[in-house]
């Protein structure tokens, strides 16, 4: 079993493996993009965008189960990659991964971090969100994800970033990534404006 912990989505975080019922971490010695690629593919999270070490997602707990991992990048599972089972590491060297299917959000151009144009980081770039399906559920999910309370208004803006994302939430999901979404599909975004939101909370 394999998971990412300490990140903002299931496709970002500290690499953790389960062995004989115990979860442990991977040391960052030799940790690089081919290693991270295998993790992302195994978790169905696309490709690796970054392979940070140095406990970038916080220090893990339990045993350190792998060191000097040497994937070539084509392996189906991290456990198929050559690695040292003995290690000289501590948890301050825990390896992490950011995969291409990880999504994070911000609001720009508003009075603070809880108001403005909706922008999503996905596949390595910041993009705008089309307002063609941007209704109360979608806006409220985003406000809650950002710790900004509930949605008050949904203003529109011009598209100024390279990509366009569409979200459709049937209910109040934990995050927009768990709603239906499409990236750079022209039909749902045809003649749309960029979505915005004003939440009732305040942020940095």
Element (H, E) at 189: helix 186-189
Domain layout of the chain by residue ranges: 2-99, 103-199
Where does 103-199 sit in CATH, by number?
3.10.250.10
The reply to whether CATH 3.10.250.10 applies to domain 2-99 is: yes
CA of residue 99 relative to chain centroid, distance: 7
Please check whether the two domains, 2-99 and 103-199, share a CATH topology: yes
Q: How far apart are the first and last CA of the chain?
A: 37
Confidence of residue 110 (pLDDT cuts 50, 70, 90): very high
pLDDT digits (tens, 9 = 90+) for 72-93: 999 999 999 999 988 889 999 9
pLDDT of 204: 54
Mean pLDDT of the chain: 93
pLDDT band with cut points at 50, 70 and 90 for residue 22: very high
pLDDT for res 30: 96
The distance of Cα 152 from the centroid of its chain, to the nearest Å, equals 26
Query: Which tops the pLDDT comparison, 49 or 138?
Result: 138
Angle at 142 between CA 141 and CA 143, to 5 degrees: 95
Q: Which residue has the tokens 């927009």?
A: 176
- Mean pLDDT of the region 124-136: 94
How would residue 187 be classed by pLDDT, with cut points 50, 70 and 90?
A: confident
Q: Where are the beta strands (DSSP E) in the chain?
A: 2-6, 12-19, 22-26, 48-50, 64-66, 96-99, 104-109, 115-122, 125-129, 151-153, 156-157, 163-168, 180-183, 194-199
């Amino acid at each position: 079993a394999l998971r990412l912990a300490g990140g903002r989505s299931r496709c970002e975080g500290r690499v953790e493996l389960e062995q004989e019922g115990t979860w442990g971490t991977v040391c960052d010695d030799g940790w690089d993009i081919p290693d991270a690629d295998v993790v992302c593919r195994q978790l169905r999270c696309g490709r690796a965008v970054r392979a940070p070490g140095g406990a970038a997602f916080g220090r893990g707990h339990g045993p350190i189960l792998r060191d000097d991992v040497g994937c070539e990048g084509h392996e189906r599972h991290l456990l198929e990659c050559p690695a040292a089972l003995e290690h000289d590491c501590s948890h301050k060297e825990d390896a992490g991964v950011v995969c291409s299917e990880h999504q994070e959000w911000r609001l720009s151009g508003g009075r603070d971090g809880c108001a403005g144009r909706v922008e999503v980081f996905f596949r390595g770039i910041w993009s705008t969100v089309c307002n063609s399906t941007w209704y109360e559920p979608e806006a409220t999910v985003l406000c809650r994800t950002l710790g900004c309370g509930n949605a008050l208004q949904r203003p529109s803006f011009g598209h100024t970033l390279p990509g366009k994302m569409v979200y459709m939430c049937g209910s109040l999901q934990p995050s927009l990534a768990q709603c239906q979404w499409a990236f750079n599909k022209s039909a749902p975004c045809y003649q749309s404006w960029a979505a915005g939101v004003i939440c009732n909370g305040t942020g940095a």
